[in-house]
Every structure is written in C-alpha cells, then in structure tokens.
Amino acid sequence: MSVFFNIYAHCVMVGCYTDPTGHSLFCDNKKQLLSICDKIKKEILKMFQPGKTVGRFDMNILSYHYVHPGYRVKYKNHYLCKGATDTTVLSITCSQFVLQPKFKGNCGDYLSIQDEIYCGRNTPTFLSYSGDVNVSFISNKRRNYKGFKCSVSAEETEVATTGPTTCNCGIPNKSRRIVNGVTTEVHEFPWQVAIVSKYSNRPYCGGSIISQSWILTAAHCAEVTNLSDKIVVGEHNWALTSDTAAMERLTIHRIHVHPEYNPMKLNNDIALIELSSPLTFSREVSAVCAPQQNEIYDNVNTIVAGWGFTTEGGTHSRPLQKVVVPTMTNNECKNSYGDFITSNMICAGLAEGGKDACQGDSGGPLVVEVDTSSSYMKQIGIVSFGYGCARPGYPGVYSRTSKYIKWIASKTSSTWCPAPGSVEPSTTTTKTPQTKPPPITTDVPPTKKPSVCSCGKVNRASRIVGGVETKVNEYPWQVAIAYSQFSRRAFCGGSIIHSQWVLTAGHCADVMVGSEVVVVGEHDWLSSSESNVREVVNINKIISHPNYNSNTLQNDVALLKLSKTLTFGSDNKVAPICPPEPGNLYERVSATVTGWGTTSSGGSTSYTLQEITIPTMSNSDCKSSYGSSIYDVMICAGLPEGGKDSCQGDSGGPMVTNEGSPFYRQIGVVSWGFDCAAPGFPGVYARLTKYMQWINNQLSDSGWCEPYA
C-alpha cells in the first residue's frame, strides 16, 4: 500500500499562479501545463511504494516530458512547477544538477526542497524529511541550463500504537537533517508554539508547551497579547494550510506576567499563558522538559527555533527555522552588555556573529539536548533581547528558565515535566488573582484647526559615514505604530499629515485590534533620553481605504485618527509631511524611505530610525519584474542591482522626495515586495497621488497640510 495519502502536483506557466512566497508571475499556456501536471501526478502515484526506490524524478518535465530520455535537453523559461507529498520519510538525491548560477548572491533559476534553495551546481546530495515535503522548480526569463535528475525513495517508519505517558517531554521528531539546514523538519520540535492575533496566521511571538494547559513565553510578548489572540500548536509553515494536520488554533484563558518583570531592563522577562482547554499530546504536539534548578549551562550547544527574521532577507520566515548557538558565562556576556546582564539571564551566540536568536521569535525556547541516546531536550532559556541580529560581539540574551522553576510551579499548580533522570522541582499552590488593564478611553473633544500649517522641512545635519541611521528627529513626520505603550519596537510605521491624523498602510491597519498606540518623536527604542519630544498617543479611529484588497494589496492605505492634537513646535521636531503634487508621476526621482524595519546587514529589526535613498521607476519598468501584479495605484523604487530596499523601513512608513526643494513631499507608503533588496525586484509602494481626494474627504474641513514659502 502506498504511504502517500495525498499528492498535489501543479505546473503552471509563470503568471497563472501566485506562489505563497509572494512571487507575482506571468502566463500564456496554462491549459497545456495543467494537463502535463495531471500526467505527473498519475506517474508519481504509480511509482511510489513503501521501502522501494521509485526511480528518477526528472525535472526535465519542464520540456514537456516527465521521465525525459536525455538529460541534455535544456529546460524552458518562465516556469513554476510545484509538488507536495504527504508521506512518512522521503529521501531525495540528485545525480545531475546544472542550473543557472547565483548572480550577486541570488539564485535566478532554482530548485526548492522544503524551502531550502539550490541553484548553480549546488547539488542536493541527500535529504530526508518526515511529514509533508514541498518541492518546486522556478526558472526566470534569462539563460537556460541543462536541468537535473533526482531520485526519490519512500521509507516506512514505525507507528506508535499508544500515546505518550502523562509526563513525557522533550523528544524532538528528527530524521536525517538537511545539509547546512535552517528550516526544521515538520514537527521536529513538537513543543514549539506560535502566538498570533485573532485574524492573522503570522506569528508575532513564540512560546513553548510545558504542560497540557500551559505555555511559556516572554513577558514582553505577554504584555501585548490579548485574550482574543490565539496559540497555534503543531504549526510548521504558517503560510500553508495543508502542510500539517496537527495544526490547531487555541484560545487563551489567562496570562501571568512575572511580578518583577522590568520592561526597561527586560529583567524577569518571562510569562505563562493558560489555555482554555487542555491539549491532547501526540507525536506532533508535546511538552519540552524542564531544566534542573541549579544547573548553570555554561558553554553548551543549544538550539533556538522560531518564525522570526532570517539573516539572508530580513523578513519573517514562513516555515519554522532553527539555529545552533553556544552559551557562555554571564561574565563573558557582560563584556558586551555590561551590568544590563543579571543572574536571571543566559547568553548564547558566536563570537564572530552570523547566527542568532533573531532567527527565532521573541518568547521562543532555547533548548539543550541532555540525552544523546534518546534525544530528550530541556528548555534553558526564553528569547528575550539582543543588540541587532547576529552582530559580532553581541550574543542573544535569554531569560534563564532554571531561575523560575518554583514560580512556574506556583502558577500552574503542577510540575513542569523534567527530563528522565532529573530531580523534579518542588510544587506550591499559591495563586494570585487575574488583573485586567483599564479600558482605553477613545472619546475626545473636537479640536480646532491648527493656525499654522508648515510641513515637510527636514532637520539636516552631517550624516553618519555610510548613511544608515538618521539624525535624531531628522524626519519629524515619522511615527512608529506599536502594540502598546510598553512595547520596545514598532510593528509598522506611518507619517504625520495633520495634527490629528497619521497615514499608514492598509495591511498594517488590517491587524490592529484597538489597543495599539502611535509613537511620535521617536528615534532610538533603547534610549529614553535620545529625544525630548517623544510621546505615546492612543488611536481614536482606524479608517482603511474601502477598496483595500489584502490579496493584491491594491489601495494599501489607511488613516489613523489620534486621541489628542499634536503640537507642532518651532523647533520642528514634530511636524507633518507635505502631500504630493497632483498629476506628478514621480518617475525616476530620488526618494528616501525611513523606518525601524530590518537592515540588510543583519536581518533584525533596528532600534534606531534608519533611512535609505533609492530611485523610483516607471510602472512599465516595474512590470518587467512583477507583471500584472502592478497597478496604477502603485509606484516602485529600487536599484536594478539590488542592495537597497524598503525592507529597511517598516511597512506603512513614508517614501518622500524633495525634488530640489527645501520641503519634502510624501509620494508613497511602504507596501510590499519580493524578498529584500533582491536584484531585479524593487520595493512596491502605494502611490499617494491616487488617494488625495479620499484622504481630504476623511480629514473633512482641515485637509492635508500644504507647504508655504
């Protein structure tokens, strides 16, 4: 009997299909390719048998043959072929592999196996997975190469007939690893959970299962978590709905933040989330083991997993990622962070940088393997903070979980399951009542129209060499949008267009639940004295464009009405940006984008406001990259060779230009793009000249501030 329950095979010409990774593609012969894929599906179903080598999986199917008689026939341009199979263990080896080589660090044509990219002569020599396996091949419009031949074999694995015991923990689901792998195997870490907002699939924080009813995470995550948010267990790729049958979204009953948590110093950065109903443990969903209370865990290799930023692109990863980093002594860590490091923290990272917990979400687990024979793992840390991402000399900092065993037991009224051979911690039953934050008041009195409407004037000073970080309050219209007044970073950006109105992206407003705040006058999230005009303002009203489309990102603009009127001082540290000139296409002009987003060097969110200068282009030029995904309500900007992009600024942030004038005008809102600073793929922005009437209608009698001479 076949070990495959489902096989999905589809080949479409570029443009007939929108890839979950965000490719926007072209097309001209969909019907013919779909018939080829039906043939492929039938062939795969006939060939796969348990325990047998199934023969050649020859990707020269792209020259209209599934098993092609000759490897020398080149593959065609503009194809996207994908297949996903559900099996126990699948091994793939490739005997021939010649694709278009990398150009400036990026693959043009490539084979993707379980989200790992191969191109040039980087042959996948041996791969093995459990669960679903995703295979795709994409070719661009440039040169054709020979292609490749791969063999696929399926192997049966033992099936457990009984569930785990009541306190069975810390066993990863491992088979042979991906060579130099970053993506985990499906359910490799069954204790890993994602914390998502009610209407989103993308994790904003991670956590770990420590019992059937309790999730361990970071306090700085819990402080922005609403009871309406969800805990996702059994997840692997949050962008797919079919990669794991074990995925489940669970409701939250209550949240316990450590009583001595310090949001400024991130000391005691630990919290517990109680589920509304207990989990049923299985191979795919189970608990991580507890650390021993007095163990130091210095100089040991650990693993961090999460859906956070990757070092290559600086965007959220869709599949679960992992990275191996060594711990160090706290004295060594103090060489980097000084007295910021307390005994409640543990540090991990390479001295030369390159690997860091930015590859896992905040709140996620830092685990260590304690028994090589049975592969039990226990959690010794919680992702907390760090300077940048994978920077030399700056390790990641984690909450040291061995310091909180008694506190965890007192809140959960149960014992966190220890690894075999460990001494179980003592348990107490002290409970504290749940407290609720005061409601946010949104009723505000009407305000008068400001008497002075000056906008778009920058505070110039000499730049930092290499020009990445802005000067303090250099762009006085820039605002940050944060989950709460206690947040230490922005999840989106925006711009001041009026004393009571902020402009941002529709996809930013789409995830707001009402408790978010706007931060004006901000520069450095780690410093409270950097800017003397910093102010946190509540949001009174959220207005998304009525024709906003979350799939195509057309009309990706939104307005936020503030709960108070901003004061525009004579020092120009908080001021509005000017609107674009009507009818101006702003093609091939130099534009500036600002934000606290990811940087190209490290891939982590920046604590200081960043800027990047890039040229705009015509929409016809942009369509050569994205095709019909570009609409007249969009404007593109970027360098042909890549290297600079708006991934360095938050979504919703402003793209501005001065065109030789002392006044800056906003011409775009950061919207979307493929990857970050990839050659041939510019950033895409909402074109503001298309929305002036809608914006002014919302602002009623006041309108968007115009510059004066």
Structural domain count of the chain: 4
**Averaged pLDDT for residues 604-609:** 73
pLDDT tens across 191-234, in order? 999 999 887 888 889 999 999 899 999 999 998 888 999 999 98
Q: Looking at this protein, which amino acid is placed at residue 277?
A: S
Residues paired with residue 662 on neighbouring β-strands, in sequence order? none
Nearest C-alpha neighbor of 480 from the set 534, 427, 547, 557: 534
pLDDT tens across 43-100, in order? 444 444 333 333 333 333 322 222 222 233 455 454 444 443 433 445 566 667 777 7
User: How far is the C-alpha of 297 from the C-alpha of 301, rounded, in Å?
Assistant: 9
Are 29 and 138 part of one and the same domain?
A: yes
Q: Is beta strand 634-637 parallel, antiparallel or unpaired with respect to 654-657?
A: unpaired
Are 522 and 649 part of one and the same domain?
A: yes
Q: Is the pTM of this model over 0.75?
A: no
Are 675 and 560 part of one and the same domain?
A: yes
CATH value at residue 209: 2.40.10.10
The full DSSP string for 510-532 is: TT--S--EEEES--BTT-SSS-T
What is the average pLDDT score of the chain?
A: 70
Q: Is beta strand 558-562 parallel, antiparallel or unpaired with respect to 535-544?
A: antiparallel
The residues, ordered by sequence, that sit 6+ positions from 646 with a Cβ below 8 Å of its Cβ are 593, 595, 597, 612, 614, 637, 638, 653, 655, 670, 673, 683, 685
Q: Looking at this protein, which amino acid is placed at residue 601?
A: S
User: Is the pLDDT higher at 694 or at 455?
Assistant: 694
Tokens of 449: 């129209």
pLDDT tens across 261-288, in order? 998 889 999 999 999 999 988 878 888 9
User: Is the pLDDT higher at 289 or at 646?
Assistant: 289
- Minimum mean pLDDT among 331-340, 455-464, 678-687, 689-698: which range? 455-464
Show which residues are catalytic: 507, 556, 651
Phi-psi region of 513 (alpha: psi -120 to 50; beta: other; left: phi over 0): alpha
Cβ neighbours around 340 below 10 Å, total: 16
Tokens of 20: 């979950």
Cβ neighbours around 510 below 10 Å, total: 16
Which of 282-286, 496-500, 569-573 has the highest mean predicted lDDT (pLDDT)? 496-500
CATH value at residue 58: 2.60.120.290
Q: Tell me which residue has tokens 């009610």.
A: 198
Q: Are 377 and 170 in contact (CB under 8 A)?
A: yes
- What pLDDT is stored for residue 605 in this prediction? 63
User: How far is the C-alpha of 381 from the C-alpha of 394, rounded, in Å?
Assistant: 17
- What pLDDT is stored for residue 155 in this prediction? 45
Domain boundary among 134, 155, 176: 155
User: Is the pLDDT higher at 46 or at 385?
Assistant: 385
At residue 586, what are phi and psi to the nearest 5 degrees?
50, 45
Domain boundary among 102, 137, 155: 155
Are 647 and 685 part of one and the same domain?
A: yes
- What pLDDT is stored for residue 44 in this prediction? 45
Are 233 and 269 part of one and the same domain?
A: yes
Nearest C-alpha neighbor of 225 from the set 442, 492, 437: 437
User: How far is the C-alpha of 503 from the C-alpha of 580, rounded, in Å?
Assistant: 13
- What pLDDT is stored for residue 377 in this prediction? 83
At residue 522, what are phi and psi to the nearest 5 degrees?
-85, 150
Residue 365 lies inside a defined structural domain of this protein:
yes
Domain that holds residue 307: 301-402
pLDDT band at 316 (very low <50, low <70, confident <90, very high): low
Are 254 and 370 part of one and the same domain?
A: no
Residue 148 lies inside a defined structural domain of this protein:
yes
Are 308 and 256 part of one and the same domain?
A: no
pLDDT tens across 430-447, in order? 222 222 222 222 222 223
Residue 422 lies inside a defined structural domain of this protein:
no
- What pLDDT is stored for residue 320 in this prediction? 85
List alpha helices for 301-449, DSSP H: 330-337, 405-412
Nearest C-alpha neighbor of 498 from the set 516, 513, 518, 469: 518
**Averaged pLDDT for residues 408-434:** 54
Residue 285 lies inside a defined structural domain of this protein:
no
pLDDT tens across 157-172, in order? 333 333 333 455 655 5
Residue 450 lies inside a defined structural domain of this protein:
no
- Confidence check: pLDDT of 114 > 60: no
**Averaged pLDDT for residues 225-245:** 83
**If residue 301 lies in a helix (H) or strand (E), which one and from where to where?**
strand 301-306
The residues, ordered by sequence, that sit 6+ positions from 132 with a Cβ below 8 Å of its Cβ are 84, 85, 86, 87, 186, 236, 242, 243, 244
Q: Is beta strand 110-113 parallel, antiparallel or unpaired with respect to 53-58?
A: unpaired
- What pLDDT is stored for residue 483 in this prediction? 81
Are 306 and 254 part of one and the same domain?
A: no
The residues, ordered by sequence, that sit 6+ positions from 260 with a Cβ below 8 Å of its Cβ are 267, 268
